[in-house]
Each structure stands twice: as structure tokens, then as C-alpha cells.
Amino acid sequence: MANVLVFIDNPGQALKKSSLELLTIARSLGETAVAVNGELSDDVAGTLGAYGAATVFRPSAADLDDYLVAPKAAFLATVADKSGATTVLLENSPEGKEIAARLGIRLSAGVITDVVAIDADGTAHKSVLAGSYTTTAKATTAVTVLSVKANTVDPEPATAPGTPETVTVDAPADATAAAARITSREQKVASGRPDLTDARIVVAGGRGLDGDFGPVEELADALGAAVGASRAATDAGWISHDAQVGQTGKTVSPQLYISAGISGAIQQKAGMQTAKVIVAVNKDAESPVFEIADFGIVGDLFQVLPQATEEIKKRKG
């Protein structure tokens, strides 16, 4: 059986759903080892065992978080060698992809990003050109490095949980030599809403909101959804740039995408056209978004959205 290595960066007090998904995928491919950077609580160690991890590798150095990407890739390369992994799985965050990038060079391994499914033979499935193509790709190298998108499998613990063995690994001496140092870090205030990239439902607003995201936020909260925005709305400063969905922002594939006051030009479409169901509300019947919407409403979003929010609250009791 193949050896699969999963990288989990700073798990905190409980593993994220996306980490559990990586562990579930890993188990389907072979024997799982996990590399953890940062603190490892007893609860997390227990969950790793429950999800079938046989070995947990930890760095001897505690300062990997003080540097950008490079030392984490160096640590992971050492673990990959030690564990004999032929597949390495990482989360598909910007940092996850960059760690994958550098790890690939260190291991002379092919890297595939944005993976949504992995076959038993290591073939990876992904979509490219803003969701207009689905492709399969395969590394031609001994080791394959894959960054896997969230929400691709349902997390499932192993049938026979175990207690993983913990191994401490020295990162290579040159790991931090040529790395950018993080000199300060500020946490942003958490919105309490789900993460935009992983959310099951996204409610997004654009130019038509004319500066007032209230109706979008209220509908999002009634649905337990994340809030997104078009580039016009983020460029106007009505909402944080983090919320931008589109070609130069985030790509989302939720079960439901509600687009309000967004014309749906190609820049926006690129970020959301793989959503399962698209609902659009726009004053202008000619908006391109209606060409791809499963349900479209030509109307005033300041009327339609609050009415929908009230109705959802009523039905949910």
C-alpha cells in the first residue's frame, strides 16, 4: 500500500473540516502519516488516531510560523523522505499551495493544485480556465504533491481507530536561512459567518447595492450563508476585498449562490459558475447573469431580498 502524508498547519484545539477531509482521502489511498506544525492538543492527537493516522511527525523547531512558507516546506520535505510517502496532501489555501510548490521542487515531485478528487492510481481531477473545463492530471514523478479543495468528500473516521506514534523531526539547518520573516501579525475580527471559499451557500452583492450591503448580509444570516461581492463592490470600498468572488478574487462552488445587483460579466462569472444552483436578482432584465441563473428575478433587490429574509425566518420558525 502507498504511504500518504497529510500536512496540517496549526490545528488549534480541534481539526477543521477540511483537515478531516484530507485524512479521509488519505486513508482511501494508503497508509496515513500526518505532519503537524504548531501545538498538538490531546484532542487533536485523538482525532488523528480516530481518522487512521499511524504516525504523527512534528518539527523540533517551534518558530516555523515566524517565517513565510519556506521552512514549512523544508520540514515537510524531511518528513516526506522519512515517511516514504509517495503522495503528499495539503489544503488548497494560498499558503497550502505555496508550501506544495516549494515542496515539489525539494522532492522533484509534480504538484497539482485545486484538486477535487483523486483516483486510486493518483490521477487528480480539477477544473481549469475559471471552471470552463474539467481536466485530469497525473504526476510523472515518484512522489505526487496535491493541494485539495475543501468540501470534496464527507469526513469519515476509520473503522479501526488507533493511537498514532509521534516522531519529532529536525528541520534542515538551512530552512530559515533564505526565508522572509514575519515581523507582525494582526488577527482580523471574525464575522461569525462561514468561510466564503468553503460555504454551502453564498449570498453576493454588487453595484446594484449602491453601498448598502445590509439586505445581502441579512439574507446571508437567515440562510447561514457566507457573504460575497463583485469586484465593483469591493473596488468601491463597500465591503472588504476578502469578499470578492471572480477572476481576480475567490472561486466558489457552493450548493447555492444568490447573486444580487451583480450584472454577471465574465470577471464575476469566472468565480461562481460552478455553483450547483444560481439565483439572481437584478433590476436589469438584460444582465448576463440571467443567462446562467437557474432562477432569476427581475426586480428591486431592496424589496425582494428583505421579503425573502422575512419569509425564511418565518418558515424556519
Partner 1 sequence: MEETLKIVVLVKHVPDAQFDRHLSGEGHTTDRDESILSELDEYALEAALQLAEARGGAKAGNKVIALSMGPAGAVNAIKKSLQIGATEGVHLTDAALAGSDAAATSLALAAAVRHLGADSPVDLVLTGMASTDGETSLVPAQLAERLGLPQVTFASSLDVDGGRVSARRDADTHSETVEASLPAVVSVTDQINEPRYPNFKGIIAAKRKSITTLSLADIGVDSSQVGHSGSWTRVTAAEERPPRTAGTIITDEGDAGIKLVDFLAAQKLL
Question: Is 144 annotated as contributing to ligand binding?
Answer: no
Question: Is 282 annotated as contributing to ligand binding?
Answer: yes
279 touches partner 1 by CB under 8 A? yes
13 touches partner 1 by CB under 8 A? no
C-alpha cell at 6: 497529510
Query: Whose CA is closest to 300, among 277, 282, 278?
Result: 282
Residue 56 or 64: which CB sits closer to partner 1? 64
In the region spanning residues 62 to 81, those forming contacts with partner 1, defined by CB under 8 A, are: 68-70, 73
135 touches partner 1 by CB under 8 A? yes
Q: Which residues are CB-neighbours of 83 under 8 A, at least 6 positions away?
A: 3, 5, 33, 55, 57
Q: How far is the CB of 173 from partner 1 (least distance, A)?
A: 14
Whether 54 contacts 162, CB under 8 Å: yes
Residue 160 or 178: which CB sits closer to partner 1? 178
Residue 85 or 201: which CB sits closer to partner 1? 201
C-alpha cell at 247: 477572476
In the region spanning residues 19 to 48, those forming contacts with partner 1, defined by CB under 8 A, are: none
CB-neighbour burial class of residue 117 (10 A; exposed 0-12, middle 13-18, buried 19+) = middle
Question: Is 208 annotated as contributing to ligand binding?
Answer: no
Fill in the amino acid letter for 203.
Answer: V
In the region spanning residues 250 to 269, those forming contacts with partner 1, defined by CB under 8 A, are: 255-256, 266-267
12 touches partner 1 by CB under 8 A? no
**DSSP H or E segment with residue 17:** helix 17-29
Question: Is 246 annotated as contributing to ligand binding?
Answer: yes
Q: Which residues are CB-neighbours of 98 under 8 A, at least 6 positions away?
A: 69, 73
Q: How many residues bind partner 1 (CB under 8 A)?
A: 92
Task: Cite the annotated binding site by residue number.
Answer: 207, 230-231, 244-248, 282
Task: Cite the annotated binding site for FAD by residue number.
Answer: 207, 230-231, 244-248, 282
